[in-house]
Structure 1
Amino acid sequence: MYLNVHSQYSLRYGTMSIPALVEEAIACGVTQLVLTDINNSTGIMEFMRECDEKGIKPIAGLEFRQDKQLLYLGIARNKEGMKELNDFLTEHNLEKKPLPDLAPGFKNAYVVYPYGHKNALKENEYLGIRFDQLNKLFKADLNEIRDRLVALQPVFIADKIEYRLHEYLRGIDLNVVLTEVNAGDKCAPTDMFLAPGQLEAKFSRYAFILDNTRNLMNRCVMDYPKGRINLNRRTFTGNKKNDRELLEKLAISGMEYRFGKNNKEAQRRVKHELKVIYELDFCAYFLITWDIIRYSSSQGYYHVGRGSGANSIVAYCLKITDVDPIELNLYFERFLNAQRTSPPDFDIDYSWDEREDVQDYIFKRYGSQHTALLGTMSTFKDRSIIREIGKVMGLPKSEIDGFTDQTRAAFNQNNEVFRKIVAIHERMCNMPNQRSIHAGGVLITEEPITYYTALDLPPKGMATVQWDMYEAEKIGFDKYDILSQRGIGHIKMAVKLVEENQQRKIDIHQVKTFMKDPAVNANLKAGNTKGCFYIESPAMMQLNRKLGCESYLVLVAASSIIRPGVASSGMMGEYIKRHHHPEDVQYLHPVMEEQLKETYGVMVYQEDVIKICIHFAGMDGTDADILRRGMSGKWRSEHEMNRIRASFFNGSQRLQRPAETAAEVWRQVSSFAGYSFSKAHSASFAVESYQSLYLKTYFPREFMVAVLNNYGGFYDRALYVQELQRSGGIIHLPCVNNSDAIVSINGVDVYLGFVGIHGLNETYIELIPEERRQNGLYLNLEDLIRRTGIGLEQAIILIRVGALRFTGKSKKELLWAIHLLLGAKVKPNPNAELFQLESKNYSLPLLVNTCLENAYHELELLGFPVSMTMFELLQTDYRGEIGANDLINHVGQTVRMVGLYVCEKTVHTRNNQKMWFGNFLDAEGNTFDTVHFPNRTPAYPFRGAGCYLILGKVVEEFGFASLEVLKFAKLPIVPNPVIS
């Protein structure tokens, strides 16, 4: 009898999850019900699965609302009816037009209007009446509507407690305090499943209404296939036989390109993989991915294929990836095998400014009805929602600030209001809050996708499904990951700049040559990798220096052992030690030596863990794959983890493994639940790292300009400018006659662009260089104003940053001039002047700008000084007792150093105390690292950007020296002369 049931997917309105909703329905004796979430079909497929599992009948529907007003319900008679409802909502979402007051003529769906609807009803339309509206039927003529009346008992909540939670959700949604949530803004306190027999009792005088309702529901059959089936596009060519033949042709041709015609191992592996791909029906998946790569390559786009797909030699031959699985001994079964519990996928990375065009090609190539971006669902888990709850409660801002201040955590625990807020937050923290868009997942379907979901139109402007990757997988969709990253943009632009600036063409795909280059490997070993994808962070530079990393294979391992899973298990340090002394390795068990000799008995990759689970503990491939998903963060079931643990120890006991050894092996295995990489993933990253490092080694200036122009990387913009200077680049401040919107390079001269100037309007960022290109250099300040129409405020920014220094006038003279030209707002004189007066020329005293004043302007407008260094701005000339490169010669000694803050990382100790790792530059621009232990550190040691005086003990690990901080203070800089 329940035609209007809502789950939590009626965002900030419904309170019950799908499983909870179904359980509540069963408890109330309900045997069939309609899920009608507000303006979305997010939960429909999950709802049908849950109902099928629990033995009640699911019916799919939608509630259509406009401006909080219920317009009508749509109830699907069948699968075609659900598509009609989804198509209707999709049309209005994608075209951004309001829903109409009257529903269209659905052929396979019923429409239920709220009681009071005045228009004539179509054959498939009904009037829904609530039990508290039945008095309106008294003495009414029901002849014309008798067969069209149905019971409307909305369900939003489970009980009175959830009603209060519902009120808080509505307050958050409307951004009002609880007392301002009006009756029309929320559901009724009775909008829940009623106890068995109650609904029938309320409609007892109008039993025909219940009969109408029951008959409507009985005619609805959700004829969707049960269980997970393959819903992806099934063929590439339109014919499976042709797909198979085309894939084989492409794979063999690519194999000859990659390996030549006589590589027996490559031939064997290609043949084996093709057989598995055919049997598991993945030909279309490979061919569609190949087609995407083919298009992007034709446009000159550079891509990186990574993830477990790099385990496939067929993918390598199709140029989907650039990782040689034979060289790295990668096994295909990690990517695709009959025992995988989840579909595999390729991760294809593009430059940030090229990905959207690739996605647009996919939509046009495979059709808008069959293509959509994947969605995501964010929850209220973020503790920032505590602030929102406080606002709904009407608390003053100062009190809310106190509740969100982590330093007051102990005090807040004793505050009754805070405890109430936390209790509310705990009830809503796992509830969905809003739909968004996945980082790069694309679905390409066989059937129109609106059989399974309505589509949204997020700001990105491409149709997006209303559920996430986990739901997609359960329904039967495999995603294509079309991602973007700045590292590819760095490489692409650097290659272009080298060709323009040095007239040299680079084949950036000759990676195997780069891997053998002594100069490239020397930079890798020395940690000279700032700006290089994945190997530029302080932690990664430190790891490579400790390893003495100077080869591709070691870098592949480093790319994985830096991950939290390996690091937290203590195996990162163990790996470094064994790497330097392989002759001393004592394997935990013969199986560890047999399976992990390449990594000295240390589990480094996801594949290693899978191999150990199978060979050491006798687990089957299915359980090993479940564990792999747990490691990759795609699974978080504690029950499932306990089952896997039992399977591991039972298998170990069955194979008579020593109990202590099994316990240690499991400790190492379970630590990987905090994420680790597949070997293929690490290998893909290492390929890109070598490409970046090759460019940095031989073309450092062009490379750093490319890094700056692609929104940097791990560090702030100032550090990359400093790297440019260290590489011989002559840095020039922005100039209206030389700069472009972005950073430009000509020989060794590098002009900062207008993009980096704080406060400069985007209009002028583009207009100033474009006008100069069209009509020549600017002659003076007046010429700039006349040709660009720039106003006073924006002109002042350009003057203060030094962009008009070509005029030969000081900033102060230019500021006088701009105020004379644009500062006075003279009212027009209606009386014509008898004589035209010449403009006055004022005689000004000598106005000069000091280097210090300029540095302060640059700090304000660029974020870093160019005219002076941060060290030159210090009030003291002291630069420390030693520099970064001399640290290794003072191990065990206590020294003083002066360092320019670069970045920090906060970690928690086993006692849940905070400690920090810092990264600094000395006066010569060399990097050094600091460690700040809790017992020697104030509550928060860092005081923002600037230079610090550091007293610490020099420590060394694997040849890498750093500073354990004893005392730490920020140094003052010379005051701003304008202010003082």
Structure 2
Amino acid sequence: DRQPALAITDLNNLFGAVKFYKEARGAGVKPVLGAEIYLEGLGSEPGALTRIVLLVQNTQGYLHLSELLARAWTRNVARGQAQTQALCRLEWLEELGAGLIALSGAQAGPLGAPLLQGQATRAAEVAGRLAAIFPDRFYIELQRAGRPEDEPHVIAAVQLAARLALPVVATHPVQFATADDYEAHEARVCISEGEILGNPRRVRKFTRDQYFKSAAEMEALFADVPSAIANTLEIAKRCSLTLVLGKPQLPDFPTPLVDGVPMPIDEFFRVESHEGLEARLAHLYPEVAKRDAQRPRYVERLEFEINTILKMGFPGYFLIVGDFIKWAKGNGCPVGPGRGSGAGSLVAYALKITDLDPLEYNLLFERFLNPDRVSMPDFDIDFCQGNRDRVIDYVKDKYGRDAVSQIATFGTMAARAAIRDVGRVLDMSYMFCDGISKLIPNKPGQPVTIQYPPNPKKEGDKNNYAIEMEPQLAARIEKEEEVRMLVELAQKLEGMTRNIGMHAGGVVIAPGKLTDFCPLYQQPGSDSAVSQYDKDDVESIGLVKFDFLGLATLTILEIAREFIAARHAGQENFNYEDIALDDVPTYRLFSEGKTEAVFQFESRGMQGMLKDARPTRLEDLIALNALYRPGPMDLIPSFVARKHGREDVEYPHPAVAEMLSETYGIMVYQEQVMQTAQILGGYSLGGADLLRRAMGKKKLEEMAEHREKFRSGAFATHGIPEDKADEIFDLMEKFAGYGFNKSHAAAYSLLAYHTGWLKVHYTAEFFCANMTVEMDDTDKLKVLFEDAVKNFGITFEPPDVNSGNYRFEPVTDKSIRYGLGAVKGTGQLAVEAIVKAREEGGPFGSLYDFCVRVDRQRINKRTVEALVKAGAFDAIHDNRASLVASIDRAFEFANATQANVAQVDIFGDSEHGSATAEPELVAAAQWGVKERLTFEKVAVGFYLSGHLFDEVAHEVRRFCRREIDELLDSREQQVIAGIVGDLRVINGQRGRLAIFKLDDKSASIEATADEAVMNANRNTLKDDELVIVSGRLQPGRGGFEARFQVQQVWDLATARCRFGKFLRVAVNGRTPDIARLVKDFPPRLETTEAGEVRQGMPVRLTLARAGARVELQLGENARFFPNDAALASWIAQADAGQAVIVYE
């Protein structure tokens, strides 16, 4: 209704201020920024909290409000039962009130309670105090929102205002846009509070009247107090903040002094870049003649980049990034070789921001910083995970802790979550809501909405709207009222902000106090403040974002480097930068697909692709890394066929043949699209980047202009006719849509090469480093363990309290000692205590000695039990059962010993105390293999010293020859065997579903069994039990691993009946008690779909006489059920124990 101004006054924050400001300005509405704040010190009672509204008049007011909010969140937080809130102190208002207009906060404000309680004098005192803090800028706030206390408050407030000659203003506590949104708002409140929407006892804090009212509605509402409406316009006129947006403001970078004067930053930048380039060239070309020959092309490129960066005004940015990377590398914080398009900059390479020569790999500076489009450069820097915070601390120390912070992120309510949450507050069953939510397609990287699609529909809408993609969902919405109500309420909440978090890597560095730009927020329990604006808004107000990202691979490489330097003579200064990039064994590793835990190449699909492609150079790895993602993945077969000469290499035009030769004529990279535009269309590389962006974003008008420009350029430069130019342009458009950033692919492929090289040449160190980093993830540890043992011949020594440490450690080039930290229930503090005791007193002699000497504040009985079960005491005593049974006794002994020592200390001699003799261990029978391995799995996460399948493998492989790692990639019926693990039952769309791992030592696979199969095999499908199953392989797709769909299940005894022909029993001169054996182990009756089946095994007796053998088939009455006990009895009664099942 054309109201001229609008204010945003969220509680204790300015989270949405910048977006609100932009939207309002764009709509021709004057934005008024503000916040409703909690205030302490003015309540009716000591400690009472009240709320007032602060509105920003000008830049000074904005700075003061930012400072107030930052102080409240970082210095004065009250943690209540329901929520945590930041509190503003009255003295802070006295200090920072200038530039702000204050509203009294209506009923929730410091005047509310006194006025409603008839305490006019108290109310007058409070109003006078606030009026003094905000002279001519304090208004008594009136609200009418359908709440019981509204009218009494308005009457008392108007009377107080008249008595004190203070202005009044009418506001409305808006919570939702229209009256129809009330139910959605209440649902959101219930989600937050864990309430049920229909609960009659629920406290209703809001009314239906709290929607956005028109000017006419507000005038009618306050017709009896017209000045309250007039003052809304008066306040709007008094508020005239202008935010400076889109102007980057970097902190000053300190340059060295020359004759007592700081060197100009542009000059220092140029000097640093040229000196850095010379250092790089000396490393790249050790021979002076080669270096001199190559220098001109490097210097030409460097000068172009320097001049572009200086023209854009960004030398400080490069120097700041180069400085903290230099500090990191010099202080034991590994840094990645590059990430994103920044690896295409030679200046970045010269300043050692990146570690990949962009000229060697034809990487483009214009992809990073476009001379034709001024935008802030953006380096994403990978740091070792464990050291990243040290680098951020360095930056805080250098530029000031009040100038540096991390950045807020806002989580929103996604479609599936909205359905589940709304269903819960509507008190619908979990099964019902979960079933509806699962009808919403879940595509990684492609969000799908539950909104109704527009009419008319646009091209591509089907891939964005769940109702279009899933006909069953659309049908249920149409036919079921309950589903329609659930979905339509969830539609109103989808996309709304749900929580506040911290950006994974974003750090802002301000040229001064951060609160001169934005307020800060500190999460409860955290000691680190973040900006109240997200990354986009932070950049809008001029702050520059630096991405400090943690990368586990760098941690792995650093741990391995430490092992290499410590174990191998002459490698004390080992550096990955010195590795040759043409190592044949490394490329053989990639070609064989043995890339488990090799950065970027570890997935099963990637391993299969590597086997086909057989890469022989880094360029191949770069291309494959870029191709293996949705979209270009379809080009992989052609790329591989062209590489190996099975398909002709074709080029769009001979002029681009050299540029496209490294990818065999296929445009794999965005940079190749740019270069095609440059070579054929006469574009500058900056202009080609603008073309690439237009193509990628499918900007039709821009594309039409570019097509015309490309046609004319192609004809002018190469005489290419219009139809051929259009053909090439269409090809470029296709590749621009999914072409990958070559600079990023190159930098990450270099990191991949380093990890592959490490796996080949320092295998034990590679696995130790990986397993140390992944020690909290049992599944990953198991995969690494199996890869090490099966593919690289590594042996593992069990964890050992007398020689092990927290980390996995190489003992020899082919042997690894299991890390104590990977034993469940230990932890770093416990292991440190064990190592400390061992270093101070030597190896532990017994369990009792261990419990006496290790600090029992760091270990408990569960810790010791886990260590015993993992085998960490085997070198001290080999009976794990006895050790576990003795743990209570050991702790009692340790406590008694400690008390004895304390008594000696008190009396100063040994007369009153003596050494306590160690008791005997509790006697217990050794665990059998299965029991030992099962306990080992509990302690470690998998079978470490053996495998449960080993005990049965010899027999099982007689009738089930296909190992899990040999499963056929087809839908035909297959039979496999393995040990069940990680069994869980979920509620699926078609009933309950059992999901479990099946492991036969060759590999493991996730398997599923539907409710019918599960119910029929309750006693068989259990963790750590052997099963033989028949079913079909469900191929992996969409990033999910393959699954085996189980249709039949047998334990070993029933499998013997199913697959065995008969039991052959030798009876030379000795006849078994067949009647007794059949009576003790009768056949079992099992009910199947075909009816009852008698599960029993036939018996044949064999008698050898004079070189001949007679075989007698016993009748049906001699069938027996062949469990282990039955077989043991037959063997015991057979001649020379010769009783064996015949399977063929």
TM-score range normalised by the length of the shorter chain:
0.7 to 0.9
Q: Which residue of 2 aligns with 1:83?
A: 63
Change (3 A) 1:29 1:174: same
Change (3 A) 1:545 1:138: closer
Q: Secondary structure at the match of 1:34?
A: strand
Q: Which residue of 2 aligns with 1:20?
A: none
Q: What is the alpha-carbon distance in structure 1 between the residues aligned to residue 981 and residue 382 of structure 2?
A: 28
| Residue 127 (structure 1) aligned with residue 140 (structure 2) | yes
| Residue 313 (structure 1) aligned with residue 346 (structure 2) | yes
Q: Which of the residues 787, 810, 815 maps onto 1:723?
A: 787
Larger radius of gyration: 2
Of 61-70 and 755-764, deviating more is 61-70
Q: What is the alpha-carbon distance in structure 2 between the residues aligned to residue 181 and residue 653 of structure 1?
A: 71
Q: Which of the residues 187, 202, 215 maps onto 1:168?
A: 187
Q: Report the CA distance between 1:651 and its aligned residue.
A: 5.4
Higher RCO by CA contacts (8 Å cutoff, separation 6 or greater): 1
Q: Which of the residues 149, 153, 158 maps onto 2:168?
A: 149
Change (3 A) 1:845 1:754: closer
Q: Which residue of 2 aligns with 1:324?
A: 357
Structure 2 unaligned spans of 5+:
41-47, 79-86, 113-122, 283-290, 442-469, 715-719, 896-913, 983-995, 1009-1013, 1015-1020, 1036-1040, 1055-1122, 1125-1144
Q: What is the alpha-carbon distance in structure 1 between the residues aligned to residue 981 and residue 641 of structure 2?
A: 29
Q: What is the alpha-carbon distance in structure 2 between the residues aligned to residue 234 and residue 901 of structure 1?
A: 62
Q: Report the CA distance between 1:475 and its aligned residue.
A: 3.6
| Residue 284 (structure 1) aligned with residue 316 (structure 2) | yes
Identity rate, percent: 23
Q: Can you list the C-alpha shifts for 1:535-591, whole angstroms capped at 9, x where unaligned?
A: 222222222222110211111111111122311xx2222222222228822334557
Q: Can you list the C-alpha shifts for 1:44-80, whole angstroms capped at 9, x where unaligned?
A: 1222222222222111111124899761111111122
Q: What is the alpha-carbon distance in structure 1 between the residues aligned to residue 997 and residue 761 of structure 2?
A: 26
Change (3 A) 1:967 1:402: closer
Q: Which residue of 1 aligns with 2:864?
A: 795
Q: What is the alpha-carbon distance in structure 2 between the residues aligned to residue 947 and residue 618 of structure 1?
A: 67
1:346-385 alignment runs, 5 A limit = 346-385=379-418
Q: Which residue of 1 aligns with 2:956?
A: 877
Letter in 1 for 2:299: Q
Q: What is the alpha-carbon distance in structure 1 between the residues aligned to residue 526 and residue 721 of structure 2?
A: 54
Change (3 A) 1:301 1:920: farther
Query: Any conservation in 1 of the 2:73–2:521 contact (CA below 8 Å)?
Result: yes
| Residue 293 (structure 1) aligned with residue 325 (structure 2) | yes
Structure 1 unaligned spans of 5+:
1-27, 827-835, 904-917, 933-937, 956-961
Change (3 A) 1:893 1:546: farther
Q: Report the CA distance between 1:443 and its aligned residue.
A: 1.4
Aligned-residue CA RMSD in angstroms?
Answer: 4.6
Q: What is the alpha-carbon distance in structure 2 between the residues aligned to residue 387 and residue 785 of structure 1?
A: 50
Q: Which residue of 1 aligns with 2:104?
A: 113
Change (3 A) 1:215 1:598: same
Of 805-814 and 155-164, deviating more is 805-814
Q: Report the CA distance between 1:862 and its aligned residue.
A: 1.6
Q: Which of the residues 765, 770, 773 maps onto 1:702?
A: 765
Letter in 2 for 1:41: L
Change (3 A) 1:887 1:479: same
Query: Any conservation in 1 of the 2:778–2:941 contact (CA below 8 Å)?
Result: no
Change (3 A) 1:777 1:55: same
Q: Which of the residues 563, 575, 582 maps onto 2:639?
A: 575
Query: Any conservation in 1 of the 2:505–2:549 contact (CA below 8 Å)?
Result: yes
Q: What is the alpha-carbon distance in structure 1 between the residues aligned to residue 544 and residue 779 of structure 2?
A: 35
1:649-664 alignment runs, 5 A limit = 662=726
Q: Which residue of 2 aligns with 1:215?
A: 234
| Residue 71 (structure 1) aligned with residue 51 (structure 2) | yes
1:612-761 alignment runs, 5 A limit = 612=676, 625=689, 641-644=699-702, 646-647=704-705, 662=726, 666=730, 669-670=733-734, 673=737, 676-711=739-774, 716-726=780-790, 727-747=792-812, 748-760=814-826
Query: Any conservation in 1 of the 2:595–2:601 contact (CA below 8 Å)?
Result: yes
Letter in 2 for 1:155: V
Q: Can you list the C-alpha shifts for 1:279-309, whole angstroms capped at 9, x where unaligned?
A: 0111001000111111112202221122111
1:328-727 alignment runs, 5 A limit = 328-340=361-373, 342-404=375-437, 410=472, 414-458=479-523, 461-505=527-571, 509=575, 511=577, 513-567=579-633, 570-581=634-645, 584-589=648-653, 593=657, 596-612=660-676, 625=689, 641-644=699-702, 646-647=704-705, 662=726, 666=730, 669-670=733-734, 673=737, 676-711=739-774, 716-726=780-790, 727=792
Change (3 A) 1:334 1:899: farther
Q: Report the CA distance between 1:147 and its aligned residue.
A: 2.2
Q: Which residue of 1 aligns with 2:928?
A: 850
Q: What is the alpha-carbon distance in structure 1 between the residues aligned to residue 605 and residue 39 of structure 2?
A: 52
Change (3 A) 1:424 1:672: farther
Q: Report the CA distance between 1:170 and its aligned residue.
A: 0.7
Q: Secondary structure at the match of 2:208?
A: coil
Q: Secondary structure at the match of 2:77?
A: coil
Q: Secondary structure at the match of 1:303?
A: coil
Per the normalisation by structure 1, the TM-score is 0.81
Q: Which of the residues 792, 801, 807 maps onto 2:876?
A: 807
Query: Any conservation in 1 of the 2:930–2:948 contact (CA below 8 Å)?
Result: no
Q: Which of the residues 778, 797, 802 maps onto 2:844?
A: 778
Q: Secondary structure at the match of 1:807?
A: coil
Query: Any conservation in 2 of the 1:695–1:703 contact (CA below 8 Å)?
Result: yes
Q: Secondary structure at the match of 2:53?
A: strand
Letter in 2 for 1:29: R
Q: Secondary structure at the match of 2:191?
A: helix
Letter in 2 for 1:311: G
Query: Any conservation in 2 of the 1:897–1:949 contact (CA below 8 Å)?
Result: yes
Q: Secondary structure at the match of 2:502?
A: strand
Q: Secondary structure at the match of 2:580?
A: helix
Per the normalisation by structure 2, the TM-score is 0.70
Of 621-630 and 709-718, deviating more is 621-630
Q: Report the CA distance between 1:457 and its aligned residue.
A: 2.4
Of 502-511 and 123-132, deviating more is 502-511
Q: Report the CA distance between 1:794 and its aligned residue.
A: 3.5
| Residue 58 (structure 1) aligned with residue 31 (structure 2) | yes
Change (3 A) 1:891 1:508: farther
Q: Secondary structure at the match of 1:204?
A: coil
Q: Can you list the C-alpha shifts for 1:300-339, whole angstroms capped at 9, x where unaligned?
A: 2221122111111111111111110111111211111233
Q: Report the CA distance between 1:516 and its aligned residue.
A: 1.7
Q: Report the CA distance between 1:258 and its aligned residue.
A: 1.3
Q: Report the CA distance between 1:697 and its aligned residue.
A: 1.1
Query: Any conservation in 1 of the 2:333–2:388 contact (CA below 8 Å)?
Result: no
Q: Which of the residues 213, 218, 221 maps onto 1:194?
A: 213
Query: Any conservation in 1 of the 2:246–2:540 contact (CA below 8 Å)?
Result: yes
Q: What is the alpha-carbon distance in structure 2 between the residues aligned to residue 73 and residue 653 of structure 1?
A: 60
| Residue 251 (structure 1) aligned with residue 283 (structure 2) | no
1:7-86 alignment runs, 5 A limit = 28-65=1-38, 71-86=51-66
Query: Any conservation in 2 of the 1:495–1:506 contact (CA below 8 Å)?
Result: no
Q: What is the alpha-carbon distance in structure 2 between the residues aligned to residue 222 and residue 601 of structure 1?
A: 56
Q: Report the CA distance between 1:681 and its aligned residue.
A: 0.8
Q: Which residue of 1 aligns with 2:304?
A: 272
Of 527-536 and 595-604, deviating more is 595-604
Q: Secondary structure at the match of 1:528?
A: coil
Change (3 A) 1:275 1:582: farther
Q: Report the CA distance between 1:798 and its aligned residue.
A: 2.7
Q: What is the alpha-carbon distance in structure 1 between the residues aligned to residue 164 and residue 221 of structure 2?
A: 20
Query: Any conservation in 2 of the 1:739–1:751 contact (CA below 8 Å)?
Result: yes
1:880-959 alignment runs, 5 A limit = none
